[in-house]
Amino acid sequence: MRRREFVRAMVSAAAAPKLLLGQGQNPAPPPPAPVPWTVGLNSSTPVPKAKLAEAVAEGESRFFTPGQMATLTRLSDVLLPPIGSKPGALAAGVPAFLDFLVGSSPDDRKDMYRGGLDWLDSEAKKKFSLPFSRLNAEQADVILKPWLRTWMSDHPPLEKHADFVNVAHADIRAAAINSKPWSDAPAVGAQEKTQVALYWYPIEPDLYGDRTKAMQVPQAKKGSRPTTELRRNY
Amino acid sequence: MRQEAVDVLIIGSGHAGGMAAKILTEKGISCLMLNAGPIVDVARNAERKSAYELPYRGFKPPGRLAHVFQSNEFNANVWVDEKEVPYTFDQANPYNWVRVRLFGGRSLFWSRQSFRLSDYEFKARSRDGFGEDWPISLADVAPYYSRVEDIFQVHGKSEGLEQYPDGNFVVDDSPWPTSMLRFAEAGKKIGVPVCRQRSSHGRDGLASSVNLLLPDAFATGKLEAVENAVVRNLTIDKQTGLVNGANFVDRLSRREMSVKAKRVVLAAGTLESTRLLLNSGLGNSSGVMGHYLMDQIYGAGITCSVPEARGGKATPALMGGGALVPRFRNISTKADGFLRGYALNVTSRLGALEARNFAAYGTELQKKMDDYYGSAFYMTIMGEVLGRNENLVRINKDVVDAWGIPTLHVQTKYTDNEYNMARDAVNTSVAMAESAGFEVLSKNTEPNPPGYSIHEVGTCRMGDDPKKSVLNKWNQSHDHKNLFVVDGACFTSAGWQNPTMTILALSMRASEYMAEQMRQGNI
């Protein structure tokens, strides 16, 4: 506290008993120092506007290897190129976002992505003697097309390779459609819209919850990951 | 601090607890309601946002809510987190336990389909020899269904089918789009009825305990409610064998509390009510508590396109709306490979078809999606799961929740009866769709894991024989006459129907019986 404010605080504290005596009943006590400015925070106070971090900065890639990232980048561009005025998956920042999403996910999703990207690259080398990241659209189509399936929600294909291709396709599309660049661009025809919905904040969260000992869900032991709970849901 | 025991302690605030509170307080009885979670205020707790404003762009926050398929980043905070309240199961037989502990419980979020059970459900054993009959029939419950349908403003139409009992409806006579008429015509050819949906409209678009039941109870001045009260166990008077209160822990402060009660109504939701009784060591002289866990198979179905609606030609006269195919198997003929039956939810939509309905990507996919826009037609199953002794829950003392309360181990799986039913539903749907001239785009015969429908029922089933049931026909414990369980735990069989109307009707019926027993001085 600066000296001048300190002195003023002392003076008002000293004045209080006199006022008490003079009025014979309790007046409202003077508000303590930090309070008055908060009354200025009301509905007419402008709220600062913030940018999305993604709009001004790069996300740090920390999960996929550079080779896997190159494959994912090419895969994203092939599966969702720019159409009309909508950005493609690359302009929507999808590969970097998926590095973040998959990197924070349970092991089975990580394994499916890493295994799937490595498999794409090895197929590309086998068929075209090139890494997947350097295939043209026709070459990539030769590898991808046989694995495309139709499926219903919660039931993606379970067959090896088809699982990765179809789930990655759905993830790439969702990540692009739900990006700000996609939302900002006008749609042509029946292009999908960015999801807008009621978001629920944590409702009276239990801030002490993580101090209790009972919070760990028992996990299957490492190496004995269940093969029977087939349906992937994150 | 309260000195005297409360007249009635109600545990749970969803449809079951809300109805008990309304009925009892309107008869002048004082009630105290405990709810495990907080009161939700949509103006304070929720806000419309675009997916890109959220850290995971709308994807489910990774690693959370693995067994709540209904969850996404927008609604992730309304569900019970299985890290906070764990449950266990054998990895070979996963269970999706979908829970909401907010005031009002799952009544805040249900799909609002509103059906009566028929005597094909109440008296199923008499027809096919499997399981047990309920100790009540449709005639016993019908007057209560009528009152519930009035409170919930159920829209529907009388169809005159014994397996789809008519009710007290706000008449829905809106014309069907021609695609739905064609589907109904296809059903007629093979003896499959296609009927109107039945749905609770409630008030202001909400049909929940918090707007249709609890306000009436609070208005009497007879209801007190406590939020964030996680009940540990019920207590018993050893002299009389009657329940006499409950111990609970404050969810946030973790302060241990106890309350005395003259009577207890348990309405915590099927498995939480059973967990509480098992943890209290009460009401299980029959040994069947926890057994006969049932629900409905969901997830199997097909997605179609109506060709005439393609190429920008979809109109409200052609597309949109919904229908319900009530159970038609094992009514007048016997189905091959399964007992009981299933219903089909039928919906037609004017919007986009999901990309996964096309084996294509990029520009080719977008062309397909442009062309097929507005032509979507879906059929999905709601199938009865049989009540089996070996499908059960028990207490797992080795795993406790965030408040140290022992958790449930869920041991349940579907059998050939359910899998055969799912296949039959898909085959029948495909046949009807093709007969109506629709193109089938995708199909799935694999049911979602048990629990997914959020229609778990049973585990404290009712019956006349105290050796084979937990509750009598008034939802009253055979062992402790001042204890009532009014939620889905009382079900003797599951039916294909959304259980909500039945839970509401039975809670109303049990509460009126309870009030009368209190008036007579019997409890």
Tell me: pLDDT of A5 over 90: no
Confidence (pLDDT) at B246:
98
Burial B28-42 (b: 16+ CB within 10 A, else e): ebbbbbbbbbbbbee
Tell me: pLDDT of A219 over 90: no
- Residue B443: its chain A contacts at CB < 8 A? 152
Selection from A167, A75, A83 nearest residue A124 by Cα: A75
- Residue A150: its chain B contacts at CB < 8 A? 356-359, 441-442
> Mean pLDDT over all residues of chain A?
83
- Residue A211: its chain B contacts at CB < 8 A? none
pLDDT level of residue A209 (50, 70, 90 thresholds):
low
Q: Is B523 touching A (CB cutoff 8 A)?
A: no
Q: Do B366 and A83 touch (CB under 8 A)?
A: yes
Provide mean pLDDT across the span B321-325: 97
Instruction: Return the structure tokens found at A176.
Output: 């692009």
Confidence (pLDDT) at A229:
46
Q: Is B403 touching A (CB cutoff 8 A)?
A: yes
Burial B110-128 (b: 16+ CB within 10 A, else e): bebbbbbbbbbbbebeeee
Substitution target in B356, B403, B429, B444 with the highest count of A β-carbons within 10 Å is: B356
What would the pLDDT profile of A109-160 be if each residue is shown by its tens digit?
999 999 999 999 999 999 999 999 999 999 999 999 999 999 999 999 999 9
Substitution target in B366, B369, B414 with the highest count of A β-carbons within 10 Å is: B366
Q: Do A215 and B40 touch (CB under 8 A)?
A: no
Cα–Cα distance for residue pair B420/B191, rounded to 1 Å: 20
Confidence (pLDDT) at A188:
86
* Among the partner residues B52, B56, B444, nearest to A183 by beta-carbon distance: B52
pLDDT level of residue A19 (50, 70, 90 thresholds):
very low
Q: Do A228 and B91 touch (CB under 8 A)?
A: yes
Residue with the larger pLDDT of the pair A29 and B327: B327
Q: Do A153 and B363 touch (CB under 8 A)?
A: no
* Among the partner residues A153, A205, A217, nearest to B83 by beta-carbon distance: A217
Handedness of CA A172, A178, A179, A182 (dihedral sign): positive
A50 to chain B, closest Cα gap in Å: 11
Tell me: pLDDT of A28 over 80: no
Q: Give Cβ neighbours of residue B338 (< 8 Å, ≥ 6 apart).
A: B329, B330, B416, B417, B418, B420, B421, B424
Tell me: pLDDT of B179 over 70: yes
Tell me: pLDDT of A223 over 50: no
Residue with the larger pLDDT of the pair B163 and A219: B163
Residue with the larger pLDDT of the pair A204 and A113: A113
Q: How many CB pairs under 8 A join A and B?
A: 197
Q: Which chain A residue is nearest to residue B446, measuring alpha carbons?
A: A155
What would the pLDDT profile of B276-304 be if each residue is shown by its tens digit?
999 999 999 999 999 999 999 999 999 99
Provide mean pLDDT across the span A4-19: 46
A144 to chain B, closest Cα gap in Å: 10
* Among the partner residues B58, B251, B443, nearest to A195 by beta-carbon distance: B58
Provide mean pLDDT across the span B108-132: 97
Confidence (pLDDT) at B328:
98
DSSP B181-193: HHHHHHHHHTT--
Q: Do B362 and A80 touch (CB under 8 A)?
A: yes
Instruction: Count Cα neighbours of A61 within 13 Å in the Cβ-side half-sphere.
Output: 15
What would the pLDDT profile of B370-411 be if each residue is shown by its tens digit?
999 999 999 999 999 999 999 999 999 999 999 999 999 999
Q: Is B445 touching A (CB cutoff 8 A)?
A: no
Q: Do B362 and A83 touch (CB under 8 A)?
A: yes
Selection from B75, B25, B71 nearest residue B47 by Cα: B75
Cα–Cα distance for residue pair B158/B328, rounded to 1 Å: 17
Selection from B114, B97, B108 nearest residue B35 by Cα: B108
What would the pLDDT profile of B254-275 be if each residue is shown by its tens digit?
999 999 999 999 999 999 999 9
Alpha helix ranges (H) inside B436-499? none
Q: Do B67 and A153 touch (CB under 8 A)?
A: no
- Residue B50: its chain A contacts at CB < 8 A? 178, 180, 183, 194-196
Q: Give Cβ neighbours of residue B315 (< 8 Å, ≥ 6 apart).
A: B309
A119 to chain B, closest Cα gap in Å: 19
Instruction: Return the structure tokens found at A190.
Output: 């029946």
- Residue B108: its chain A contacts at CB < 8 A? none
Tell me: pLDDT of A211 over 90: no
Q: Do B63 and A234 touch (CB under 8 A)?
A: yes
Tell me: pLDDT of B192 over 50: yes
Q: Do A190 and B370 touch (CB under 8 A)?
A: yes
What would the pLDDT profile of B2-40 be if each residue is shown by its tens digit?
779 999 999 999 999 999 999 999 999 999 999 999 999
Confidence (pLDDT) at B309:
98
Q: Is B404 touching A (CB cutoff 8 A)?
A: yes
Q: Do A201 and B45 touch (CB under 8 A)?
A: yes
Tell me: pLDDT of B124 over 90: yes
B325 to chain A, closest Cα gap in Å: 20
Distances (CA, A) of B88 to B85, B401, B411: 10, 11, 9
Provide mean pLDDT across the span B67-86: 95
* Among the partner residues A170, A183, A215, nearest to B50 by beta-carbon distance: A183
pLDDT level of residue A207 (50, 70, 90 thresholds):
confident
Q: Do A201 and B46 touch (CB under 8 A)?
A: yes
Single-letter amino acid code for the residue at B198 = R
DSSP chain A: --HHHHHHHHHHHHHHHHHHHHHSSPPPPPPPTTSGGGGG-STTSPPPP---HHHHSPPPP-SS-HHHHHHHHHHHHHHS--BTTB--TTTTTHHHHHHHHHHTS-HHHHHHHHHHHHHHHHHHHHHHSS-GGG--HHHHHHHHGGG----BTTB---STTHHHHHHHHHHHHHHHHTSHHHHHSPP-TTPPPPPEEEEEPPSS--TTGGGSTT-PPP-PPTT---SS------
E strand or H helix that includes residue B180: helix B178-189
Tell me: pLDDT of B479 over 60: yes
Residue with the larger pLDDT of the pair B41 and A11: B41
Q: Is B88 touching A (CB cutoff 8 A)?
A: yes
pLDDT level of residue A41 (50, 70, 90 thresholds):
confident
Residue with the larger pLDDT of the pair B501 and B2: B501
Q: How far is CA B56 from the centre of its chain?
A: 30
Confidence (pLDDT) at A30:
64
Q: Is B91 touching A (CB cutoff 8 A)?
A: yes
Q: Is B66 touching A (CB cutoff 8 A)?
A: yes
Provide mean pLDDT across the span A62-77: 97
Q: Is B441 touching A (CB cutoff 8 A)?
A: yes
Could you tell me the pTM of the whole model?
0.92
Confidence (pLDDT) at A213:
55
Q: Which chain A residue is nearest to residue B92, measuring alpha carbons?
A: A228
pLDDT level of residue A227 (50, 70, 90 thresholds):
very low
- Residue B359: its chain A contacts at CB < 8 A? 148-150
Strands B154-156 and B170-171: parallel
Handedness of CA A50, A52, A57, A61 (dihedral sign): positive
A182 to chain B, closest Cα gap in Å: 10
B110 to chain A, closest Cα gap in Å: 16
> Mean pLDDT over all residues of chain B?
97
pLDDT level of residue A231 (50, 70, 90 thresholds):
very low
- Residue B56: its chain A contacts at CB < 8 A? 101
